[in-house]
Amino acid sequence: MNPANHLAEQLHEPLSVALREMGVVVDAARQACLLDYLALIAKWNRTYNLTAIHEPARMLTHHLLDSLSILPGVTAGPLLDVGSGAGLPGIPLAIVRPDLRVTLLDSSQKRCGFMQQAAIELKLGNVKVVHARAEVFHPSKKYPQIVSRAFSDLSDFVKATHPLLAEGGEWLAMKGLYPDEEIAQLKGARVKSHTKLHIPGLDADRHLIIMEMD
């Protein structure tokens, strides 16, 4: 059996069940696209080691469901995903929100090559891939929302991307444990809201911290 078909067969029902539990409405075609994306990660991982997670069940929870858990916090866009890596959370969000324009920004040529290929193969016309560091990226227009799950520190995230955020915009920081110490030391922004995320099958704390300019 084709590895992609095998992965889709293995994860089709768990994905459908998890999406229903999360209250995320995704039609069958887009669910298939999400699984095709996971299959691409699995394929490229064999050569490029895009992520440390290789087991299909963990790829589902830690990649797809984790990315989609922030959907309620995502507005009309455009959305900038900084340090996107293998395209997370930007590509899953772009798949389920075809109305949302997403820019994927990463400093690694290898990872950008993967993301560009994924956008082509999955026919994601709402995705743009940029190979650059945030500090040297100069878009023609600033972004109303900037998301990342790559930054280890909130202040570093804000500092690196502050020039890219539109007036009145929001930073969406995906974190594990609630970052009390980082919030206490936050510079250049203030916390607007925070949400504990529910991700079926993921036995770990996950939080979405939404920040605005100070």
Task: Check: pTM over 0.85? Answer yes or no.
Answer: yes
Q: How many CB atoms lie under 10 A from the CB of residue 70?
A: 21
Instruction: Give me the tens of pLDDT residue by residue for the chain, a chain 214 residues long.
Output: 565 677 878 999 999 999 999 999 999 999 999 999 999 999 999 888 888 898 999 999 999 999 999 999 999 999 999 999 999 999 999 999 999 999 999 999 999 999 999 999 999 999 999 999 999 999 999 999 999 998 889 999 999 999 999 999 999 999 999 999 999 999 999 999 999 999 999 999 999 999 999 9
Structure-token match 């878009």, residue found: 139
Stated length of the chain: 214
pLDDT score for 48:
85
pLDDT score for 159:
96
pLDDT score for 120:
98
Give the Cα separation of 36 and 121 in Å (integer): 9
Domain borders along the chain are 3-213
CATH code assigned to 3-213: 3.40.50.150
pLDDT score for 3:
59
> H or E segment at 145?
strand 143-148
Packed helices 3-22 and 28-48: angle between N→C axes, nearest 10 degrees: 130
What is the distance, to the nearest Å, from the Cα of residue 147 to the centroid of all Cα atoms in its chain? 7
**How does DSSP classify residue 148?**
E
Angle 172-199-103 (CA atoms, 0-180°, nearest 5)?
A: 35
CA-atom Rg of the chain in angstroms? 16
